[in-house]
A and B are shown apart, each in its own frame.
Chain A
Amino acid sequence: MAEFKKADSMLEWFDQRLGVVNFAKVMMTEYWIPKNINFLWAMGVLLTVMFTFLVVSGIFLLMYYKPDVNMAFDSVNYTIMQEVAYGWLFRHIHAVGASVVFLVIYIHMFTGIYYGSYKKGREMIWISGMLLFVLFSAEGFSGYMLPWGQMSYWAAYVITEIFGGIPFIGDELVVWIRGNFYVSDSTLTRFFMLHVLLIPLAILGAIVFHFYALRFPHVNNEKGEFFDFDEEAEKYLAGNKKESKVVPFWPVFLSKDFFVLGFFMLFFFYLVFFHYNFAMDPVNFDKADGLKTPAHIYPEWYFLWSYEVLRGFFFEIAGVSGKDLGLIAFGIANAIFFVMPWLDRSPMVKPANQRPYFKYWFWFLMVDLIVLTVYGKLPPTGANAWVGFASSMTFLVLFAALPFITKAEAKKVGGK
């Protein structure tokens, strides 16, 4: 064992045992972030904070929630919302937080796409990010079932039913997921387990992985500029802070994030206290009833675009039923973003608006996703069904065309 001399300060005591001084350098004061970034680069920290809010409020909810079909609804709407001191506050933070976290995830994701932060060395950041997206989706879906309201039940019913479309194993798979032939107590308890244990653990792991993946390629910047981080860091450490292209994570980068966080939190708390219906659907304040189908069934807003891709195919094409086509399209929609780094064949790492062809693709995609989201909620009848079909097709075509568009772009800009 190494010799330990008596420490002169608490810091030194810990440093001898845990190497905290070096650790703080590596993680904070000498972890370099580009200087030319805007507030969109604060989204990652916002997400980390939101996740913390969700975990903490979730722990409080867990103390009174009862995962049982006969008790769940009242344990949430009576015990937590009305009896326990500030139980309502934790529920509102949790429910609104779960919705808002997706808003920030989408902003974060499309920032990545806009600035091309998924390629040229940043592929693993992207993949780990998509992994987080999938995990958060599963977390949101499983959590929405827990209050055991009408929308909890019927959204779970409809979404689990989707797996029945998978060839050969579909029917068995649905039963396996639900733990019964229909959505029942066994479904609730297993979704409860997923929601409070398995998926949060996986998310924690994925966040660590995501942060680690950021380490070597470094964070992208507003211009997509590549530079030597070591050289810039040296400048900074030598005192040329103004010339250096980088800033340390702490305190410089985080000071900006805290500022963005402050105003974001103002917006968030406004929603939590005064405007929460978008996240806590009124229909879900009716207790689940398997015999009473609600007039309109729709998932939470963040699933609407992919739900609409599923519904968009409502008629047979070339002998394949609309249901199967929808399922295939739905599968593609959920997986396609993973391969974004390989669909984009242009070497340009630049904001989309400075890329000759990609910019059209990007804004087209944004419009299409908004159309899908809005029509995903509306009843799929009459003209709505055709808008759904057209926007679902547009979605698929956009991704099928991406390699060609970006290849043409690469040719035009000549490998820059």
Chain B
Amino acid sequence: MREFKILAVIAALVGITYYGIEPYAHHIMHPEVAPADFSFKTLKNVDTTLAGNVENGKVLVEANCIACHAIDKAGYPAVMPNADAAASYGVVPPDLSSAGRIYDKNYLANFIFDPVTAMHLEGKYTPESGKQFPMPAYNWMSPQEIMDVVAYLQSVSPKVEGTEAHKATFEAACGRCHDMKYAGIEATTPKDNLKTYMGTTPPDLSQYIKSRGEHYLHTFINDPQALLHGTSMPRVGLTEAAQEEVIAYMEEIGDSKKAERESLGLWVMLYTFVFAILAYLWKRKIWSEVH
């Protein structure tokens, strides 16, 4: 009985200390921010209830987008090699093949209308800064036309699933700026251009699943400014499903032994438990002679 009392005292002291230096300290150092918003409801420039016309969208895309953007899956190759594109625009313009799949519809429509607001980069592209986002705002298009473009982009996006989708989404959404060294992936924009364009070299994301963790990434990717005010990383506007694919990919690369760890963990604990029980029985037998 006394031993249980001692154990309880130790558990209480250790528990209080643990609470203070882990959950409580983290709560103080990283205050909670507003939860991720995957409907991007603050963006209201385009009426997204309008049904888009794919045919008309194709015409508009050919006239407005493919001068800079590749849409490989629809048969529009890149206009120039990545290095040249980066030199011309500052950053390699994205291939729009998967745009319709990975970007939220509301976000995409509002992005076309006004990229800087959609990305939450008003702080960077102020009139005083003299900087200009490489893509023009298509705020002269009618909401119907914008929705036509969106409908077209959605129609050309190939369906992919599983780990293939994880990688594809990561490359499309993050791969123009970020390396994933542990997967052998280098940002498609050359480092020098990136540094000029972003003001700093975007980090390699190989270990971000560990250093930032899933919880942080969940809100951060959805809206970087919320957690890192002033960062030059744009809000990319992924749907919740696409963002989960990105995070899944980061985990596959950054924490590739997770499944092995968790299954082995259970076996080791089971083994140890059996050891503990046997040790207890042996102890009872031995001590029965001396007590």
With both beta carbons as reference points, the residue of chain A lying nearest to B271 in the complex is identified as: A269
Give chain B's interface residues, CB within 8 Å of chain A. Answer: 2-3, 6-7, 10, 13-14, 16-18, 20-22, 24-25, 28-29, 181-182, 203, 206-208, 210-213, 256-257, 260-262, 264-266, 268-269, 272-273, 275-280, 282-283, 286-287, 289-291
Give Cα A373–Cα B16 distance, bound, in whole angstroms. Answer: 11
Give Cα A255–Cα B278 distance, bound, in whole angstroms. Answer: 10
Give Cα A370–Cα B290 distance, bound, in whole angstroms. Answer: 39
Give Cα A78–Cα B256 distance, bound, in whole angstroms. Answer: 10
Q: Which residues of B contact A82 (CB under 8 A)?
A: 182, 256-257
Give Cα A252–Cα B285 distance, bound, in whole angstroms. Answer: 10
The answer to whether B279 touches A373, judged by C-beta atoms less than 8 angstroms apart, is no
Q: Which residues of A contact B211 (CB under 8 A)?
A: 282-286
Partner of A274, one of B262, B277, B286: B262
Q: Which residues of B contact A266 (CB under 8 A)?
A: 269, 272-273, 276
With both beta carbons as reference points, the residue of chain A lying nearest to B14 in the complex is identified as: A103
The answer to whether B29 touches A379, judged by C-beta atoms less than 8 angstroms apart, is yes
The answer to whether B20 touches A39, judged by C-beta atoms less than 8 angstroms apart, is no
Shortest C-beta distance, B14 to chain A (Å), equals: 7
Partner of A252, one of B213, B266, B277, B290: B290
Q: Chain A interface secondary structure, helix, strand, loop or mixed?
A: helix
The answer to whether B16 touches A370, judged by C-beta atoms less than 8 angstroms apart, is yes
Q: Which of B262, B280, B283, B287 has the most CB of A within 10 A?
A: B283
With both beta carbons as reference points, the residue of chain B lying nearest to A384 in the complex is identified as: B28
Residues of chain A in range 297-333 having any CB-CB distance to chain B below 8 Å: 301, 304
Partner of B276, one of A251, A256, A263, A377: A263
Give chain A's interface residues, CB within 8 Å of chain B. Answer: 35, 38-40, 74, 77-78, 81-82, 88-89, 92, 103, 107, 241-242, 244, 247, 251-252, 255-256, 258-259, 261-263, 265-266, 269-270, 272-274, 277-278, 282-286, 295-296, 301, 304, 366, 370, 373-374, 377-379
Shortest C-beta distance, B286 to chain A (Å), equals: 4
The answer to whether A247 touches B257, judged by C-beta atoms less than 8 angstroms apart, is no
The answer to whether B29 touches A296, judged by C-beta atoms less than 8 angstroms apart, is yes
The answer to whether B272 touches A265, judged by C-beta atoms less than 8 angstroms apart, is yes
Partner of B290, one of A242, A261, A283, A378: A242
With both beta carbons as reference points, the residue of chain B lying nearest to A77 in the complex is identified as: B207
Q: Which residues of A contact B279 (CB under 8 A)?
A: 255, 258-259, 261-262
Shortest C-beta distance, A40 to chain B (Å), equals: 7
The answer to whether A81 touches B257, judged by C-beta atoms less than 8 angstroms apart, is yes
Q: Which residues of B contact A284 (CB under 8 A)?
A: 211
Q: Which residues of A contact B25 (CB under 8 A)?
A: 374, 377-378
Give Cα A40–Cα B2 distance, bound, in whole angstroms. Answer: 12
Partner of B264, one of A89, A241, A244, A283: A89
* A256 and B268 contact, Cβ closer than 8 Å, known pairs A285-B210, A373-B17, A374-B25: no
Give Cα A77–Cα B211 distance, bound, in whole angstroms. Answer: 11
Q: List 7 A-B contacts (CB under 8 A).
A: A77-B210, A81-B257, A265-B275, A278-B21, A283-B211, A301-B17, A373-B21
Additional A-B contacts beyond A262-B277, A304-B21 (7; CB < 8 A): A77-B210, A107-B10, A262-B273, A273-B262, A285-B210, A373-B21, A377-B21
The answer to whether A78 touches B182, judged by C-beta atoms less than 8 angstroms apart, is yes
Give Cα A82–Cα B2 distance, bound, in whole angstroms. Answer: 46
Q: Which residues of A contact B268 (CB under 8 A)?
A: 269, 272-273
Q: Which 6 A-B pairs have the closest CB atoms?
A: A262-B276, A273-B265, A374-B20, A285-B211, A285-B210, A258-B279
Q: Which residues of B contact A278 (CB under 8 A)?
A: 18, 21-22
Q: Which residues of B contact A255 (CB under 8 A)?
A: 279, 282-283, 286-287
Give Cα A286–Cα B211 distance, bound, in whole angstroms. Answer: 6
The answer to whether A252 touches B14, judged by C-beta atoms less than 8 angstroms apart, is no
The answer to whether B265 touches A272, judged by C-beta atoms less than 8 angstroms apart, is yes
Q: Which residues of A contact B282 (CB under 8 A)?
A: 255, 258-259
The answer to whether A274 touches B265, judged by C-beta atoms less than 8 angstroms apart, is yes
Q: Which residues of A contact B262 (CB under 8 A)?
A: 273-274
Q: Which residues of A contact B213 (CB under 8 A)?
A: 282
Q: Which residues of A contact B266 (CB under 8 A)?
A: 273
With both beta carbons as reference points, the residue of chain B lying nearest to A374 in the complex is identified as: B20
The answer to whether A377 touches B265, judged by C-beta atoms less than 8 angstroms apart, is no
Q: Which residues of B contact A81 (CB under 8 A)?
A: 257
Q: Which residues of B contact A259 (CB under 8 A)?
A: 276, 279-280, 282-283
The answer to whether A282 touches B210, judged by C-beta atoms less than 8 angstroms apart, is yes
